[in-house]
Structure 1
Amino acid sequence: MRKLTRAATAALLACAVTLPAAATATAAPAPPPAATTTPDRPAGRLSLPAPTGPYGVGRSVLHLVDRSRTDPWVPEADGRELMVTLHYPAARHRPGRPAPYATREEARLLLRGVPVEDPVVTRQVAEARTHSVPDVRPAPGRHPLVVLSPGFGMPRFTLTALATDLASRGYVVASVDHAYESSGTAVPGGRTLTCVACTVMEENEWTKGHLVTGARAADTRFLLDRLTGPRPAWRYASAIDATRVGMAGHSVGGASAVPAMAADRRIDAGVNMDGTFWDAPPADGLGGRPFLFLGTDEFHRPGGGDTSWDTTWAGVRGEKHWLTVGGAGHLDFSDAPLILRHAGRPDGPLPAGRAVSVTRAYVAAFFDEHLRGRDQPLLDGPDAAHPEVRFHRP
């Protein structure tokens, strides 16, 4: 495996611990409440930006266990557990009990990494408006599938704004929590899994990053088997078009798209949102399949601090796009800026709502072009409506 520069390693560690790492199983005690309580409580629950597509959005949750594998972080566990949220186009817009964003414990563990310990804010985040309804019937037809993998230490619900938007545009979206790799993942039986892997990675200064991407690649293969195989785990699996599959992720979740695509030809297109690559593309350059590099301009422009993007770009042989977003920070490709703003933290240079809009626009355009065959001028060059986005062709 290639060695990272000292700057790249430091940035990775900083990104890994900025929001969630305080919620690991071995975390130090929380600071006193006076230091962690949000000074000005928000007026109500967190509300994610509404989806922009023509469909209503349904949501289902699956608990899957791959007992053919040993969990890399907790070998004594009963197989490799995945919690999966499926967002999908609904048959019609209909009122109903809104789908929850997170459990109280999941929200508490995530916010503890900010740090925020205010129970009111915790409840408001857990009850965030998700613009989706549980288990409604899907829209007619078969829809492309997109797998979403979150950043290291981040739970799958932090990609909900992107997932619901893709679903409203006609995609089935499977967001995955990989066991023991998030601040907190609620699983059946009243258990909440915490980030054992965070401790392992910090102790090894991320020299074992390939263990994370390798495990996630295997998770994705197992998930595709359970969603598109002969005995699917989801009651509405017939809504999935298994001939059109994409994968996208934030941070190490995006980096995992390369080994996942290398191991599984069913994945037709991949997106890395600001993740350092740990695995070189295979000799066939991903077999000519398209890939989107979407990252921060500060760190991920050509020749920038993360040289893994330069080397991976050279190894991908299909249609590829290298875009950076001016003013964006590492977490801006997830829901984290919305959560932080709700918790009383100021916006960064790129406002939270704007970060969501940019991410949604370019990820959707990429999959519309490469999974649906719809030409997307947005991918051809700079766009006046998105002045933050810069195109690179090394």
Structure 2
Amino acid sequence: MKQIALTTAVIAVATAAPLTAENRIDGQSRDAPELAAYGDLPVGVRQIELVNQDQIDILAVDPTGETPTEFPRYDRPLTVEMWYPAAEGATGDTSLKAYLRDGTTEVTLEGRAMRDAAPADTSEPLPLLIMSHGYPGNRFLMSHLAENIASKGYVVASIDHTDSTYRTQAAFGSTLVNRSLDQLFVLDEMARINDDPTSDLSGLIDAENTGLLGYSMGGYGAIITAGGGVTETSVGYPWGAPQGTLGIHQAGSETHEALPDPRIKTAVAIGPWGMNTGFWDAEGLAGIEVPMLFIAGSEDETSLYEEGVRAIWEGATSVDRALLTFDGGGHNTAAPIPAPEESFYFNESLGFNVSEHYTDAVWDSVFMNNVAQHFVTSWLDVELKGDADKVAYLDLLEIGSDGVWSVNEDGTFGEDHSYWTGFGEGTADGLRYEVLGATLAPVPLPASVWMLGLALGGLGFVRRKRGV
């Protein structure tokens, strides 16, 4: 099956600008789909330090002792990297300092966003996208997507999840409990910053019109935040969250019923983890309240595909949703930046080559990133901006290679042209895009009908090389 994608992946050679630069996150493959191109707006980036006060200290909870009458609590620190449209003529350093998967090697990433640039003077606030990495990961893992989306008129807040980054990785229970809480806290903080008259970001952020994007464990959190309550069984996993602390996210509980935030209008989940280990059932997934785009590799051995990501997509029966599949792709499909040059070495303590945390065995990383940029752009523009012109980019034949490429002598498309909108000839091979409408059961809805509606209105994974 992995050979299916090779026809596209092999020719998807990165042509980052400038070509001589190293560790570029802004690469554009010669086969990149149309909406992968950067927008017209310059981009700024800045670091924000936040503290979520009085949270349960999951790491301090004794998993074997008696359940305490009160759980220990602490003030939870979170670092956020924010990308945003910058003022015309703004200047600033365009490099990012980030740590690799080994947690010790600091590298320099090169992009287009300017450090601490003055924000654009907009006539109205811009939609917000909150980004959430995997376990372990960091706020720069999807920086290619963050600055690309920001250049198109969005504010992007990417979270360093405490206890879950390369340098703070700790007990998995903290990640299970805190992902959704972190996401919603950052949403609150972005709203606060927007309303702060002393901030130069005041008036820039439309927190009332927010999207949520998560990869792997970030996708797990996004599903919970979107309304997908977890099972009673998962609350009791001995290797999971201690002393039933995950119960706040259990389907049907008062705490989980109160969790979904009406400011979040849509969510994107890339390789979301959890279904493969029984964290959701039909009841829990039916609780999802916002339209969702899922992105996955058909050979994902971490979150799984048929029994994992695809099963979540099928089970989210209360909402319209789509699934983009890279045939032959693994867990690293679309989300991670291209492997930094310094990551190509075998780490003895980890037991694998660090670059494997970022790369895919079949698909070219830059091309995958570009496809993700294209689909996330069209999805968010439809869901958060109501841009009817982007509907055509989501009204597609299910199998990319089934499309007919037909061009007239004058360069216009022929009447029989049915190839994916925005893709060049042959470049959608190995890709699938499927949609389901909100129903009581996962009954497929014709893409054209669904898009018209959009226009209107065990713990073995810990040892895996790429994380979750």
Assess same fold via TM > 0.5: yes
Of 7, 20, 23, 1:46 maps to: 23
Q: Equivalent residue for 1:266?
A: 263
- Secondary structure of 2:299's counterpart equals helix
- Secondary structure of 2:54's counterpart equals coil
Q: Please, what TM-score do these two structures have when normalized by structure 2?
A: 0.61
C-alpha separation in 2, matches of 1:377 and 1:350: 25
1:55-66 to 2 correspondences below 5 Å: 55-66=41-52
- Secondary structure of 1:223's counterpart equals helix
Counting helix residues as a fraction of each chain, which structure ranks higher? 1
1:228-247 to 2 correspondences below 5 Å: 228-229=191-192, 232=196, 235-247=200-212
Of 366, 382, 386, 1:369 maps to: 382
1:69 to 1:178, Cα distance in 2 relative to 1, 3 A = same
1:104-123 to 2 correspondences below 5 Å: 106-107=99-100, 110=101, 112=102, 122=105
Runs (4+) of structure 1 moved beyond 6 Å?
none
Q: Once the two structures are superposed, what CA deviation does each residue of 1:1-48 show, in whole Å capped at 9, x if it has no partner?
A: xxxxxxxxxxxxxxxxxxxxxxxxxxxxxxxxxxxxxxxxxx863122
Which has the larger displacement, 304-313 or 48-57? Answer: 304-313
C-alpha separation in 2, matches of 1:253 and 1:234: 28
Of 217, 220, 223, 1:252 maps to: 217
Is 1:286 aligned to residue 288 of structure 2? yes
- Secondary structure of 2:117's counterpart equals coil
Larger Cα-atom Rg: 2
1:350 to 1:134, Cα distance in 2 relative to 1, 3 A = same
Residue 377 of structure 1, CA deviation: 1.6
C-alpha separation in 1, matches of 2:52 and 2:200: 19
1:157 to 1:45, Cα distance in 2 relative to 1, 3 A = same
Q: Which runs of 5+ in 1 are unaligned?
A: 1-42, 185-193, 202-207
1:1-394 to 2 correspondences below 5 Å: 45-49=22-26, 52-73=38-59, 78-102=74-98, 106-107=99-100, 110=101, 112=102, 122=105, 126-139=107-120, 140=122, 141-184=124-167, 194-197=168-171, 201=172, 212-229=175-192, 232=196, 235-262=200-227, 263=259, 264-277=261-274, 278-279=279-280, 285-287=287-289, 289-299=290-300, 304-307=305-308, 309-311=310-312, 313-339=314-340, 343=344, 348-375=361-388, 376-381=391-396, 382=400, 383=420, 384-385=423-424, 386-393=428-435
C-alpha separation in 2, matches of 1:362 and 1:148: 16
Residue 130 of structure 1, CA deviation: 2.3
Q: How many residues align?
A: 315
Residue pair 2:134, 2:216 contacting (<8 A) in 1 also: yes
Residue 361 of structure 1, CA deviation: 0.8
Residue pair 2:324, 2:432 contacting (<8 A) in 1 also: yes
Residue pair 1:84, 1:177 contacting (<8 A) in 2 also: yes
- Secondary structure of 1:367's counterpart equals helix
Q: Which runs of 5+ in 2 are unaligned?
A: 1-19, 28-36, 62-71, 228-258, 346-354, 401-419, 436-443, 445-468
Residue 127 of structure 1, CA deviation: 1.8
1:340 to 1:149, Cα distance in 2 relative to 1, 3 A = farther
Q: Please, what TM-score do these two structures have when normalized by structure 1?
A: 0.71
1:283 to 1:254, Cα distance in 2 relative to 1, 3 A = closer
Residue pair 1:59, 1:88 contacting (<8 A) in 2 also: yes
Identical-residue share of aligned pairs (%): 25
C-alpha separation in 1, matches of 2:137 and 2:187: 22
1:292 to 1:311, Cα distance in 2 relative to 1, 3 A = closer
- Secondary structure of 1:127's counterpart equals strand
- Secondary structure of 1:334's counterpart equals coil
**1:356 partner letter:** N
C-alpha separation in 2, matches of 1:213 and 1:237: 33
C-alpha separation in 1, matches of 2:368 and 2:85: 23
Residue pair 2:44, 2:118 contacting (<8 A) in 1 also: yes
Residue pair 1:144, 1:241 contacting (<8 A) in 2 also: yes
Instruction: Please tell me the root mean square deviation across aligned C-alpha atoms, in Å.
Output: 3.0
**1:373 partner letter:** G
Residue pair 1:259, 1:279 contacting (<8 A) in 2 also: no
